Amino acid sequence: MPKRLFVMWAPPRSLSTAFVRIVAARADFTILHEPLCDLAACGHYLDKRAGAPAHQVDSAQALFDYVELLRRDGQVFIKDTCEYAYDDVLAGTAYLRDATHVFMLRDPEKVINSHYHINPDLRCAEVGYEHLARVYKLVRAESHNAPLFVDADQLAADPDGTMARFCASAGLAHMPDSLRWEGGHLDVWERTRRWHLDAANSTGIALIERRYATRVDNHELLRDFYRANLPFYEYLKQQAEGRHP
């Protein structure tokens, strides 16, 4: 009997990596870091977790097959960021139907400010909320499991309470000790190492307020990105709050 599969979908720069550090600290999941994102960006995904043989896949179907193998031995948690569209490879798959899908939401203004700071070539679609909404609609239509949501600001402000609520809704034991971990980079981050400096330097969740020089409130193009992504964010917030227009 395959063990449980969780897939987290998130805009880049939404604290999703911090969430995965909590999951990793539980030590009861095999974790894959952004496999579909790597396939879209590089044409392959290399799983190189410490203590496990390296394994490369070169297609979405090969990834889905690999995940099924991993599920024979234990629970699997996967995180992907939505700067790319994935609905074309997800529709009709067991990966979509069988998983419990988790959607990470963060105010798009904060997402855009942080993303642009890392990537000044940011394009509107790469903010990710339209892609995230498209995945959500597929999950609503095809998944056997109700989608779950995590609010990034709530996670930062109240890690223990947020994780306790998440675990209750996910049918998992809450492990408060998982809110602390050893700092340092993880091998699985190698392709996007510079994106995870905060997570690498952290030993727990903490509120970090940064004031970026270029922001939604002072840059016309970023303001346009915000306006374009806001309706998709608001739609997903409505879904998270149980309002389904």
Residues 233, 128: Cα–Cα separation, whole Å: 10
Q: What is the pLDDT of residues 157-211, one digit of tens each?
A: 999 999 999 999 999 999 999 998 676 555 655 555 544 445 444 566 766 677 8
Q: Tell me how long the chain is.
A: 245
- Name which of 233, 203, 192, 228 is nearest 104 in CA terms: 233
Q: What is the pLDDT of residues 66-112, one digit of tens each?
A: 999 999 999 999 999 999 999 999 999 999 999 999 999 999 999 99
Q: What is the pLDDT of residues 140-149, one digit of tens each?
A: 999 999 999 9
Calculate mean pLDDT across residues 234-238: 97
Does this model's pTM top 0.85? My answer is: yes
- Name which of 163, 197, 193 is nearest 180 in CA terms: 163
Residues 191, 170: Cα–Cα separation, whole Å: 30
Q: How would you classify the pairing of strands 55-57 and 100-105?
A: unpaired
Sign of the dihedral through C-alpha 233, 236, 240, 241: positive
Sign of the dihedral through C-alpha 105, 34, 30, 77: positive
Residues 200, 87: Cα–Cα separation, whole Å: 30
> Are the C-beta atoms of 128 and 85 separated by less than 8 Å?
no
